[in-house]
Amino acid sequence: MEHSLPVDRLPEAFASGAVLTDIRDAVSFEYGTIPGAVSKPALYDEAENASLARECRYILCDKDGSVSPAIAEKMRLLGYDAVSLAGGYAAWLEYRFAHPDPDKRKEVEKSLSKQFSKCLFTPFVKAINEFDMVCPGDKIAVCISGGKDSMLLAKLFQQLKRHNKFPFELVFLVMDPGYSPANHRAIERNAELLGIPVTIFESTIFDTVYGIEKSPCYLCARMRRGYLYSKAKALGCNKIALGHHYDDVIETILMGMLYGGQVQTMMPKLRSTNFEGMELIRPMYLVREKDIKRWRDQMDLHFLQCACRFTETCTSCREDGSSASKRMEIKQLIANLKQINPMVESNIYKSVMNVNLATVIRYKDKEGVPHSFLEEY
């Protein structure tokens, strides 16, 4: 009796009625899974409680095949027909990359000009115009981490470049801070699939932050930005573009208030204080994450969840150093509030655009100098 199933035999397993169960956590499943898989992170608990159907075969999928074999063995001891997917989700991704769809690039580009134009390309252009992000003569380094947001950012910029109302240049920049070989290949192959001509350079950031206990994600993010600025400037760029979206913005506002005790936001653009003449822009500032996910899933695209060597969840790789659990708490809080008030997201966003200093007890000016309302009382 076989105890593991190679990924190339999944189609015949599906045809025979087998159930592909993804035992990774719900966050990982949401970032990407094998089509047809069912999310069951507590599969073994259900098996122990005899709440699983015994008449079907279960194929267990984890991240890389390191966990599922032991759980499948335990399930077999309970009388279930259970096998592990050899190599897990990572092996399936490798298989997919080895058998690419030759029409995928055209399909994706057509989707951005047709089906997803209104919810993706239109707010992308609106943010660029509203916050004056792209100017004639700019040379912009589009920074790609390998996830859904940065890959979409690259495709949206390519779409904008085709309109070419005024001259500007693009460089698609990937920094490898110490990715695993599998993650490095995944970025390269997705870029090739989507027709993104990436420039890849290496750094040793992951090794540098490995032993740091306090805020390693914050330090890693700050270092990554510094390396991106430096490389972009060396390539003749005057701007770097990051893939933060609308949901990142409102989550950051709430996180600052609830965890940081301050009112601040993720700005649509910033001048660099350490690299003269360089600027950071966030052209997806008005794009909703739900629309990005819908585009990814309908196009059947599979990006990195997180290329970090030390964490499974890329929501922890934020420049505020916030952990995945904190950001997920904020996501859930917003979702709960939205059930009571459907406008809560837009109201959070508007709150930092309608600050009335006359009603603020204390604030800081551009130089960081604090001022009290008593100064002019």
Q: Tell me, what DSSP letter sits at residue 373?
A: G
Give which of 56, 61, 62 is closest to 80, Cα–Cα: 56
Q: How far is CA 53 from CA 58, 115, 355, in A?
A: 10, 40, 56
How does pLDDT run across 313-350, given as a tens digit for each residue? 443 344 444 455 688 889 999 999 999 999 999 999 99
| Rounded Cα–Cα distance for residues 332 and 315 (Å) | 13
Cα dihedral value 97, 99, 101, 102, nearest 10: 100
Cα dihedral value 210, 213, 219, 221, nearest 10: 70
Q: How far is CA 112 from CA 32, 79, 124, 330, in A?
A: 20, 49, 11, 30
- Rounded to 5 degrees, what are φ and ψ at 186? -60, -40
| Rounded Cα–Cα distance for residues 206 and 176 (Å) | 9
pTM of this prediction? 0.87
pLDDT in tens, the chain (377 residues): 578 999 999 999 999 999 999 999 888 888 889 999 999 999 999 998 888 988 899 999 999 999 999 999 999 999 999 999 999 998 999 898 888 899 999 999 999 999 999 999 999 999 999 999 999 999 999 999 999 999 999 999 999 999 878 899 999 999 988 777 878 888 999 999 999 999 999 887 776 666 666 656 667 777 888 889 999 999 999 999 999 999 999 999 999 999 999 999 999 999 999 999 999 999 999 999 999 999 999 999 998 765 555 554 443 344 444 455 688 889 999 999 999 999 999 999 999 999 998 899 999 998 899 999 999 99
End-to-end C-alpha distance for the chain, whole angstroms: 82
